[in-house]
Amino acid sequence: MIIATTETIAGKRIVKTLGMVRGNTIRARHLGKDIMATLRNMVGGEVSEYTKLLGEAREQAIDRLVEDAEGLGANAIVSIRFQTTEVMKAAAELLAYGTAVIVEDE
């Protein structure tokens, strides 16, 4: 599966647009990691606990996006975007969405 943030893919032409696809996940923070993140925030630097949490959420959302596109018969996804929304005080949704297409070599 080719995934691109652009509307086109170099060396390929879109022969069919199948529609919007999406994948999401909702992740909650962990109390222990919150404590470590708060301490790290006091001294500065990267909050690696949240970096890891968001990285895992992004990968899961992309996996689900690809599954949705494969279900439509796509071999590529263009114009992929990410969006986050706070669902509750300690949980957020990460949504990946784009357009499922079929591409061929030019």
Of 15, 9, 14, 11, nearest to 105 by C-alpha is 11
pTM metric for this prediction = 0.82
Q: What is the pLDDT of residue 34?
A: 59
Give mean pLDDT, residues 38-60: 78
- Other CB atoms within 10 A of residue 99 CB: 19
Q: In this predicted model, what pLDDT tens digit does every residue of 9-22 receive, in sequence order?
A: 999 999 999 999 99
Q: What is the pLDDT of residue 61?
A: 97
Residues with Cβ within 8 Å of residue 34, at least 6 apart in sequence: 49, 90
Q: What is the pLDDT of residue 30?
A: 62
Query: HEC string of 64-95?
Result: HHHHHHHHHCCCEEEEEEEEEEEEECCEEEEE
* Ordered domains of the chain (ranges, CATH): 2-105 (3.30.110.70)
Q: What is the pLDDT of residue 36?
A: 61
